Amino acid sequence: MIRVLANDGIAANGKSQLEAAGFEVVTDHIPQDELMTKLNDFDVICVRSATKVRQDLIDASPNLKVICRGGVGIDNIDHAYAKTKGIPTYNTPAASSASVAELVFAHFFGLSRDVQRSNSELRQEGSEFKKLKKAYAGGQQLRGRTLGILGFGRIGVEAARIAIGLGMNVLPVDLVKESEAIEIDLMGRKVMVEVPVVSMDKMLAEADYITIHVPGGNLIGEEELAKMKKGVILANTSRGGVINEDALLAALESGQVRGAALDVFIGEPTPRRDLLENPKVSVTPHIGAATGEAQYNIGTELADQIIAHFGK
């Protein structure tokens, strides 16, 4: 029997689907330092962000036949090295796109109306209702503003779909695409909207909001932040370090950046305190794909890929 280790968990539907196809699925978490001696008991490992599958672990597991990542990025897997050993790496790029894009806009709405700050301050003993009402009277709405999208893959397209529905202008940046036809559902009526890709400089100069959906790299630093419109609001739900954290804090302090939404950090699982405690930063603990719908889709996609690989 083919044994699957879902070391960071798998949705019940995915587990049931694999078991119905004749696989044994183990969901008991094995600590990273114990995998070196225990992973070789399995044919497949499924991970999310927590478990790392590096070269030394691959070398210690000659029985390993498939590596799966429940999510988009595969930077916690030495996938190129695995390929040289004849071990394919599968991920689930489409499963969580809508959930991640919706989290971006949850942050955008909150930052635009200072929800994260007023919510906390109003609850404090001795808070002055009228004073806070006046302090947070300078909100802004998203309709009519411009969204910049850095990385126009599946999640970027979902972000564009939401933005267009809100009445925003969209300026995507991508290294591969020149445009994308996006289907918008307007009260049950399907409408196709062609969205052209623009240059990085144009996006930085014109966007009121910017969301980042790239696999990694230090792409937004002091120079890029200086090119942005004053008062821009940023969101990073891709990878920690895509925005230089020191430069971001300086831009928040100067007012160049009005607010930042961060779901990912360089120091996970212990992000730097000055980011977490900055009142202009809205934070979540890497939960972009943490919806029931996304996890169901991830479970189905992983199961389909594993079953297809083994010809079941």
Catalytic machinery residues: 239, 268, 286
Q: Which helix or strand (DSSP H or E) is residue 45 part of? A: strand 44-47
Task: Tell which residue, 40, 36, 51, has the closest CA to residue 6.
Answer: 51
> DSSP H helical segments within the chain, as ranges?
12-20, 32-38, 55-59, 79-84, 97-112, 115-123, 129-135, 154-165, 200-206, 222-227, 245-254, 273-276, 292-309
Burial tier of 54 (Cβ tally within 10 Å: 0-12, 13-18, 19+)? middle
C-alpha span between 48 and 73 (Å, rounded): 9
Neighbouring CB atoms inside 10 A of 285's CB total 13
**Chain-centre distance of CA 172, in angstroms?**
17
Q: Letter for the amino acid at 85?
A: K
- Which two three-digit tokens encode residue 86? 């004849």
- Is 77 within 8 Å of 69 (Cβ atoms)? yes
- Which two three-digit tokens encode residue 147? 């969204």
- Which two three-digit tokens encode residue 204? 């930085």
- Is 21 within 8 Å of 312 (Cβ atoms)? yes
Cis peptide before 269 (omega within 30 of 0): yes
